[in-house]
Structure formats: C-alpha cells, structure tokens
Amino acid sequence: MIGFGGAAALDIESMARYWSQDAENYGNIIQDELASFRVEAWQKLLREKMLADTHRVLDLGCGPAFFSIILAKMGLEVTAVDCSEGMLAQARHLIEMAGVSVDLQQMDINQLNFAAGSFDAIVSRNVTWTLSNPWQVYEECRRLLRPGGRLLLFDANWNMPLYDEDMASRAEDRRQECLRQYGDALETADEVTEPFDPMQLPLSGTKRPYWDVELLRSMGFGEVHAEFDLTERLWDEKEQLLYGETPMFGVFATKF
C-alpha cells in the first residue's frame, strides 16, 4: 500500500470550518458555471466515462453541487456528500434553483455511511487534493462501488508551485497577466480566517495523476488510466491562462 510518512493530518472539523468560510464565494462561482458551456462539456465527458447502465451516482465532496445538478439533469439518481455545512447550504440553494432532486448529506468522506456496493459510479472534482487520508477515501470508494462500477476523479496539482520555484514564478506571471487582461484573478474570499496550511496535505507535493493510478491499481481496481490535461475541453480562456501551470486531469478506474 502506498502511503506517506510524517504527514500531519488535518482534522475534519477544521477542514469543514475552512470550506464553510469560503462557501459563498464558491457558490457564486458554481452558479456562473451552471450558466455556461461547462454544463454541456462536463455532461459529455461524464457520459463518455460512465457505463451505459449507470443509475446511482455518488458526488464525493460535492461543494455547491455542480456535479450533482448536472448529473441529476442527466436523469441519474444522485447522492451528494460534503463535510462543510456552508458548502451544503450553497448546494441546497443551487439545487432548488435548478429544480432537480439530489439526496444531500453532511458526512465525513473518510467514513461514508452507505452500504457496500451502493453506487454504479462515484465522481469528484477538485476534492482529492484536500484529503488528509486519500488512500482511505479511495478504499471507501472501492467498497461503495458495485462490481463493475466506475470511479471518476478530476483534480489538479494545485499546490505543486509551493514545491517548485520555477513553476511558482510562471504561475505568478500568469496571475499578473490575468489581472492585466481581466481585472481579477478569481481570488478567494477575504473573510476566510480558519488556519489552513496546504503543505500539511499529503498530496500537495505529490506528482499526480501518476500517484493515483499506481495506488488504484495496487488496490485491485482495473481499467485504470489517466488523462493528463482536460483544460481545452472544460476551461474557458481565463482559467486556461490563470491555472495553466496546474491543468485539470482525470483518473478513471473500474471496480473488479
């Protein structure tokens, strides 16, 4: 089993408070995304990666429910979980606005209160980098998927510039150019005060998705593969400029 030595785990209560403080900001971002090309782009990609007989889907770390809403609009039965009450409040609001049905639950994704084999697919976006125990969460995903079920993970090496000075310099150049062209750089909310050190997170300095692919294979998942750069399909020009040093990747696996 792949693991990390000496990584300080962040407790779930601290993480929940941190994300709740920035929830309104994220809710506004997701509301904009739901009114953009991203809905169709993501739905097309999800259809490509999920099996044709997919019905029950778990949105893992749902945040303000972007995936939950677009999956429900695809006619799927969606369960969504998040540890942050602030994020869930945003999710409830946007789900109601969208007029869809989602089973929304507050839960620690390290210990999910569902029966084994409950889901045909598990999806997440921009979640796994935040995990204190990613290997434990991946084990939970394996438990919760039915045989033949699919795991779809979308993320980026968001914190890698903290470990690479050249990358950090290029990322700052991109941020300055974004400010010049667009007048802002998608900053987080000013009122976030909960202490949060991203270098405590075990995946912050890990080269992904190589790590994910190796771990999932070691767990017994099959058909494991990664797509290293999905930005052309999923991001607008501003996002591509600002976050181009850390492109979004996808990791896909099947429970055998």
Cβ neighbourhood burial of 187 (10 Å; 0-12, 13-18, 19+): exposed
Q: What is the mean pLDDT of the segment spanning 42-58?
A: 98
Q: Give per-residue pLDDT as tens, 75-128.
A: 999 999 999 999 999 999 999 999 999 999 999 998 899 999 999 999 999 999
The pLDDT of residue 189: 55
Residue-range domain boundaries for the chain: 12-255
Domain 12-255, CATH number (from 3.40.190.10, 1.10.3720.10, 3.40.50.10860, 3.40.50.150)? 3.40.50.150
Q: Cα separation of 38 and 35, whole Å?
A: 8
Q: Give per-residue pLDDT as tens, 212-232.
A: 999 999 999 999 999 999 999
Q: Give per-residue pLDDT as tens, 179-206.
A: 999 998 876 555 556 566 888 899 999 9
Give the pair of three-digit tokens for residue 66: 């972007």
Q: Letter for the amino acid at 171? A: A
Q: Cα separation of 54 and 57, whole Å?
A: 8
The pLDDT of residue 13: 79
Q: Cα separation of 91 and 71, whole Å?
A: 14
